[in-house]
Every structure is written in structure tokens, then in C-alpha cells.
A and B are shown apart, each in its own frame.
Chain A
Amino acid sequence: MSPVEEAAARPVTETEPLLRVRGLTKHFPVRTGFRGRSLVRAVDGLDFDVRPGETLGLVGESGCGKTTTGRMLVRLLEPTAGTIEFDGRDITHAGRRELRPLRQDLQIIFQDPYASLNPRHTVGRIIAMPLQVNGIEPPGGVKARVQELLEIVGLNPEHYNRYPHEFSGGQRQRIGIARALALRPKLIVADEPVSALDVSIQAQVINLLRELQRDLGLAFVFIAHDLAVVRHFCQRVAVMYLGKIVEIGDRDDIYERPQHPYTRALLSAIPDVTRLGPGGRIRLAGDVPTPLDPPSGCRFRTRCWKAQDICATEEPALVPRAGGGQATACHFPESGPVAAATGAPAVADDAGPVADDGTAGAGAADGGSGTTVEEVSK
């Protein structure tokens, strides 16, 4: 596959952003030890835009604040600071009634298809719930709309009277998608929508999301820890580390010319079936520092092999480099393709086969943990 083809299909970049996030911050107070309160800086000042019809991938290790960000976007969590503008309106602290009209445009898909459907409701009731709570009577009736939605997500429309426990994980996730679509949203926050599913089912669900995105012109904020899935689905990618975006840019820039050392480390952890063995793997030393007391300056410096004194004193800003839409928060950005840093063949050459043989969603990049035997054997 060629990056050029992809670029041509991307929506026009000059349009007004659908979602504009500035300085988004979430601190959770926690009680610690004998008598003290401190803050978990789960999300610490995010800036990003999502244009209509665009898919933005939000990747990072577990605990980096991706999910918190997603929940703030749909206002399940109240932001500590910063603004969220949707469709030109500030919704950062909008109340339930003010949000009502916007709810229709802004929906969420959850990670766990087993927890996200009310076990006591029929599929029909689950999908009709957003219509019901917003008092919307679709033309042709609720039942017709539910059946239409079931059909859209590839389920049998006759199954609207069944209960969630009668469906498999993949089918349940389709039900969750149908529920998110019921109000015809413009933007869907997908919080790790496939990470709880089997690998073979992951691809189906991703394909479904992709079709929907194309057919309905949906924008997505796609939260994932799986770089392969993100590469398959997203046009733009933001890499998060400890509550901050360290690098954001177009997919091909991020995957082929990553500038932040952390992005490089993450990418090098994608399993590559064509090359077994340690290959060009960058192994990060140590653990992720606690968000209770993040490192000064650059948060990645404690694990970065390029760290200098300045990294401890000065926090690097997320600034665009090399023109274009790519921005990196690093004092010493890398340049050139991945191969230069890893001393191995460029990842771009291998990405095709990885996707083609069906392991696109192998999900092995979880926290840069590396390849398991099971995944290699596939």
C-alpha cells in the first residue's frame, strides 16, 4: 500500500475543526499515607483538533491518560482545566440540558462489550435508549430505526428482541456501535473498541468502523494501545506518555518518520513476523514513573537514552518540526526513517505483510511489552 494514495483520500485539511481541545487537564485527588492529599496528574494539558470526518488515533501505554481523555471528551468526567470546543461551542462545563443537543453529535463506544450493555434490556431497548432519553421519534418509528441500525452494523434485524447474553463479544461490540450511531453523531470517541475481542474478530469490527466512517462521514477519536490497529484505522495519530502528547502527526509521518524517542521505542515493539529475534527492538529501561509525581522537565527523560541536562530543567513544547502537520515535544528529536535508528529494514516495507496475513490487530504493542509466543505462531 502506498502512503500517497492514502494522502489523496484524506479530507481537506483547511476546514474548521469539529473538535478543538486546548490545555485539557484532569487531576484526581487521592489520599495518601497518614494524612496527605496529592494529585494524580492523569491528563496534563492536551492540545489537539479533530476535523469533520477525520480519524485521530490516541495511543500510549496503559495509564498514560488516554481513557481519561476520552471520557472528558464526552463529558463523563469533568475536566480540571482547559477547554473542549465542539462544533464551535464551548462544552467544557456545559450542564446536562445544554449538552442535550450536542449529545446527538458526540457519542462513545466502550472497551468492554460485556460491561457496556445492560444485561436486563433487550438489544432493541439498548439501541433505542439514546433515542428514548432524548425524546426523539424517528420517522417510521423506533423499531424500524433499530432494525435499520442492526442491519448497518451487520447484525440480523430480527434479533432486536434478544438479550445481550445471547451474543458473542464481537456481536455485542456491534450492538454498542449501533447504539452510538442511533443519534447520527458527527464524532465518536472509541475507547479501545477492539482490545477486548479476539484477534480475528478485531479485524471485522475495525472494518465495520471503517466502513461507517467512510459511508457516514464520521469523525473518530480512536483510543488504543495497539499501534497496528491504529495504523490500520487512523489518519492522524497522537502519542501520549504520562498525561501528555509527546508527538502528533499524520499516520505515515508518525509510523515512518517518528521524531520522538518514545514513539520510536513504541514502534520498535510492534511484532514483526518476518524477522524473529531481538532485531531492532528498542528496550526501554525502567518503569513508567508515577503520575503522582511526574519527572521534571521532559516526562520521558528518565527512560530516554538521549536525555541531557536540559531535559530535566526545561519541558519541551509540542512544536511542529519539518513543516507539515507533525509536532514533537522533544529537545533532541530524531530525524529520518525508522530504519536509521533501528538499523533494520524500514518498517514501512514490512507493514503490508503484517496487515495482509490477518494479524493486523495482533495487539502486541501493549505497553511495549513485546511479542508473545502465541502471536508469533499465528
Chain B
Amino acid sequence: MTVNEIIMTITGAAIFSFLVITVWGKLVNLFGAIGGYIAAMLIPGTMWIINHGVNNHLIKQSGTVWIDMAWAVGIGVCISSKIQGGKVTKAKNTLMAVILSGIIGGYILTIK
């Protein structure tokens, strides 16, 4: 990866994560579940096109394993809620569930 590609990847990940952290909860507070659907169309839809869809996309894949932009929002939401006072120890069951479901889901996706 060149320096330009590194800058583009970090920028794309940061914009997506920042929009989810700041906008999504606000829209849900305003409109309820409908707000969540609106946010789902606006934020991941637009950012998928910028990050993965267009020809000169922001998140450059350096290797053969697909790195999805969802990693950025996963880490970003964790860190932002930690800063706002969330306890890591109380979330350990959910974290274990994420790891288990990642292994099960990844295995299911390989079956042809």
C-alpha cells in the first residue's frame, strides 16, 4: 500500500464511523424505528458507494481477504460508548457472542 492509499482508507473508515456515531442515534430519537430505516439508507448506502462501490473507492483492498467497512463502525461504536462510560466487563457476553457468530457465520458462508 502506498501512503495515498493509507490516507484514503483511514479517511473512508473514519467518515463512515463518525456519521454512524453522531447521526444514527439522533435520527432514531427523532422518528423512532422509521428514523433507523432512514439512517440505514443514508449512511451505509452512501458510504458503501464511496468506500467500496465507485471505481476510485476510498477503502483499498491490499490483499485477497475482503475487509469490510463494517469493521470501522464496530470499533468506532465500541470506543465511543466506552468514552461515554460503558463498562467492558459487562459487555463480555455480547463480545463472546460476536466471536462465536463470526466463526459460525464465516463457516456457513464457505459452504457451497
Question: Are A and B a genuine interacting pair, yes or no?
Answer: no
Residues of B within 8 A of A (CB): none
Using a CB–CB cutoff of 8 Å, the interface residues on chain A facing chain B are none
